[in-house]
A and B are shown apart, each in its own frame.
Chain A
Amino acid sequence: MTLLISELSKTFGQKQAVNHLSFELAKGQTVALLGPNGAGKTTTLRMISGLIKPTSGNIRFDNIKNDEDLRQHIGYLPQYPQFHGWMTGREFLIYVGELSYLSKKEACTRADELLVKTGISEAKNKRISAYSGGMRQRLGIAQAMIHSPKFLLLDEPVSSLDPVGRRDILNLLEELKEETTILFSTHILSDAEEVCDSLIVMNEGRIVEQGTLDSLRDTYQRQVIDLHFKPSAIDIKKALATIEGVTSIHEQKGHLLLEVTHVDVVKADILRRTLSEEWPLDYFSVNKTSLEEMFMEVIERDAI
């Protein structure tokens, strides 16, 4: 089962929030919708969840009739989930379970199962108004999963949490990956990197880059040689620039960062000259540029 999004657009008054967006979400994938604030991530998720209607374009599943209610197959967690504070966590789960056509008995079983899975079973009979932010987020995930949806849409599931809560939710997502297809939005790349296998990068309502984490790394990641020298009379920077294969040299906190085309050749060259010309080298390492830099690069390129 695949979720097919084609030419999806949404305008609010003058503002084009989402602009001809097309992508596919195949069963079993975990995809992050990455982008700065205001990129149209939330609007996209809300359109898929059926909360708002697209201005144009369509959302469908490949093997489901058009007249069927897609909401049966989708679980959605808004960025700031709100509950009936006077209900207990368990009551709320059973309530939304029954709304999703589970029988009372099924809803109870499923609710208890999810309360354990999300780690809030101790508080299940407490009023939701007494829940902390992290507990609300867990309850939010539990309510999204109550009817075992095929697709789980999460809007910034960890952005509002403290580091401990963040860690817990990321671990939970790792577990949920086994059960369902996940599409979640975030503006923090490291969260995306940790949980998902592919990325869709959005900016100003459009997709600016997409692919699996590995393919993005291949495309954007460059190797960098990081060097540090003791102060000396030799103009090493100038000497390094003459080495073949060095494309650029940046200076950062006393370190020289070399972007190179062929690491092995350049590496050998530098080490040979260090020995023969007695360069005062005291630090040498070969690193990779992070995906964070890729993210910045893609967004900046798009802005031009």
Chain B
Amino acid sequence: MQFKTVLKKELLMHMRNYSLIWIPIVFIVLSIMDPITTYYLPIILEQVGGMPEGAVFTIPEIPPVDAFMLSLSELSMFGVLIVILLTLSTISGERKTGVLELILVKPVKTGNYLGAKWLAKIIIFTSALGLGLLLSWYYVTILFGEISFLYTLLAICFYAFWFVFVISVTMVFASLVRTQILGFGLTVLTLTSLSIINGLFHHKMPWFYNNLSSLIGQMLTQEQISSDLIINLVLLFGTSLLLLAVSVYLFDKKEKL
């Protein structure tokens, strides 16, 4: 009941401040930009003056799956930054403006309050992600060649787990620190450290958090789901739930000012 109330209010806010419109648009642009510009690169080069005479430049043939993966890497950069900033602003923002004071003097359970915010962000961002990647799939099939639609859908669903994870990490830091900029720094630092660990050890731990996109790439090429991917998804989702619990604990422990 309380959970539903906060969730409804969060979604209403996204509608009122137009983020329900601009987030999907940004995600769509991010997703389709790379496949399209890659495809039209020869034409673009031609238009801006062409190659110098005698230069030989052959643009390699790009397999459709690689073209689709370009969208994922774009989203994992800029998409994730948007996710972190907006997630932080719903918690640190409310704390900073003082609205939180009026909410916390009501008999609100922290789990409901944070859980609803968590779910609201997941709904907004994963649907934007889905829209963006579906359009990317559409352009990739037209421009580069077929990719299995079924596996594309699976890829989108699986990639959403990464966003759930990012949202959960952000929630922890939003509960831990008061200022948005510090929360942002800590979240980015954490994700970057995880990515470095992944870079160093992914051959030993192919199921590690940040390896998700390369596992998804493999799945699309081989058209089968590897056990590493399953382990990775379970790990991501389990850790996300744990992080949500941690953020509830931290939020309660901290003085509710």
Contact = CB atoms under 8 A, between A and B. Distances in A.
Given A82-B99, A98-B2, A52 B105 contact: no
Interface centre among B6, B101, B102, B257 (most CB of A within 10 A): B102
B16 A86 contact: yes
B59 interface: no
Given A51-B105, A71-B105, A71-B107, A99 B2 contact: yes
Interface residues of A, number: 29
Q: Is the interface of A mostly helix, strand, loop or mixed?
A: loop
A272 interface: no
Contact of B99 (A49, A72, A83, A101): A83
B181 to A, nearest CB: 20
B31 to A, nearest CB: 29
A74 B105 contact: yes
Contact of B17 (A75, A76, A83, A86): A86
Interface residues on B, range: 20 to 34
A214 to B, nearest CB: 33
Contacts, number: 69
A211 interface: no
Interface in A256-303: none
A38 interface: no
B257 to A, nearest CB: 6
Contact of B2 (A82, A87, A101): A101
Contacts of A83: 99, 102
B2 A52 contact: no
A52 B16 contact: no
A52 B256 contact: yes
Interface in B1-38: 1-2, 5-6, 9, 12-13, 16-17
Nearest to B4: A98
Contacts of B108: 71, 99
Nearest to A68: B107
Contacts of A95: 5, 9
A167 interface: no
A143 B104 contact: no
Contacts of A78: 98, 101-102
A20 B100 CA distance: 28
Contact of B97 (A71, A74, A82, A147): A82
Contacts of A254: none
A83 B100 CA distance: 9
A101 B17 contact: no
B255 A53 contact: yes
Contacts of A98: 1-2, 5
A295 to B, nearest CB: 29
B197 interface: no
Given A71-B107, A99-B2, A101-B107, A81 B102 contact: yes
B196 interface: no
Interface of B: 1-2, 5-6, 9, 12-13, 16-17, 97-99, 101-108, 255-257
14 contacts: A51-B256, A52-B257, A69-B107, A82-B99, A84-B99, A86-B16, A87-B9, A95-B9, A98-B1, A98-B2, A98-B5, A99-B2, A99-B6, A100-B106
